[in-house]
Amino acid sequence: MKLDLFSPKAPPLFGLDISSSSVKMVEIVEAGKEGYRVERYAIEPLPRDAVVDGNINNLEAVTESVKRAYKRLGSRTRHVAMAVPTGAVISKKIIVQAGLREAELEVQVETEANQYIPFALEEVNLDFQKVGPAPSGPEEQEVLIAATRKEKVEDRVAVAESAGLKPLVMDVESYAQQSALALVVQQLPKGGKEQNIAVVDVGGTVMNVSVLRNEQSVYAREQAFGGNQLTQDIVSRYGMSVEEAESAKRSGGLPDDFETEVLRPFMENLAVEVQRALQFFFTSTQYNSVDQILLSGGSAVIPGLDEIVHTRTQVPSVVANPFGAMQTASRIQVKRLVQDAPSLIVACGLAMRRFDPS
pLDDT higher than 60, residue 246: yes
- What is the widest separation between alpha-carbon atoms in the chain? 68
Q: Same structural domain for residues 174 and 35?
A: yes
Q: Same structural domain for residues 354 and 234?
A: no
Q: pTM of the prediction?
A: 0.86
Kindly report, residue by residue over 70-87, the tens digit of the pLDDT. Answer: 999 999 999 999 999 888
Q: Do the beta carbons of residue 59 and residue 155 sit within 8 Å? A: yes
Domain boundary among 150, 175, 202: 150
Per-residue model confidence (pLDDT) at position 126: 87
Q: Same structural domain for residues 142 and 205?
A: no
Q: Same structural domain for residues 203 and 346?
A: no
- What CATH number is associated with residue 24? 3.30.420.40
Per-residue model confidence (pLDDT) at position 352: 94
Chain Cα centroid distance, residue 72:
22
Residue type, 169: V
d(CA 69, CA 344): 14
3-state secondary structure of 73: helix
Q: Same structural domain for residues 159 and 54?
A: yes
Q: What is the mean pLDDT of the chain?
A: 90
d(CA 142, CA 16): 30
Per-residue model confidence (pLDDT) at position 7: 53
Q: Same structural domain for residues 205 and 344?
A: no
Per-residue model confidence (pLDDT) at position 20: 85
pLDDT higher than 70, residue 8: no
Band of residue 2 on the pLDDT scale cut at 50, 70, 90: very low
Q: Is 132 exposed, middle or buried (0-12, 13-18, 19+ CB in 10 A)?
A: exposed
Q: Same structural domain for residues 136 and 71?
A: no
pLDDT higher than 90, residue 234: yes
Q: Same structural domain for residues 249 and 338?
A: no
- 31-35, 51-55, 249-253: which has the highest mean pLDDT? 51-55
Per-residue model confidence (pLDDT) at position 277: 95
Band of residue 1 on the pLDDT scale cut at 50, 70, 90: very low
Q: Same structural domain for residues 53 and 200?
A: no
Per-residue model confidence (pLDDT) at position 111: 87
Across 79-97, average pLDDT:
89
Q: Same structural domain for residues 312 and 170?
A: no
Q: H or E stretch including 318?
A: strand 317-319
d(CA 84, CA 17): 9
d(CA 234, CA 6): 43
pLDDT higher than 60, residue 10: no
- What CATH number is associated with residue 125? 3.30.1490.300
Domain tally, the chain? 3
pLDDT higher than 50, residue 200: yes
Per-residue model confidence (pLDDT) at position 4: 57
Q: Do the beta carbons of residue 324 and residue 185 sit within 8 Å? A: no
d(CA 234, CA 20): 20
Band of residue 21 on the pLDDT scale cut at 50, 70, 90: confident
Domain that holds residue 128: 90-150
Kindly report, residue by residue over 141-192, the tens digit of the pLDDT. Answer: 888 888 899 989 999 999 999 999 999 999 999 889 989 998 999 888 888 8
Per-residue model confidence (pLDDT) at position 355: 84
Number of helices (H), then strands (E), in the chain:
11, 16
Per-residue model confidence (pLDDT) at position 65: 97
Q: Same structural domain for residues 195 and 218?
A: yes
Band of residue 357 on the pLDDT scale cut at 50, 70, 90: low
Domain boundary among 150, 175, 201: 150
Q: Same structural domain for residues 107 and 246?
A: no
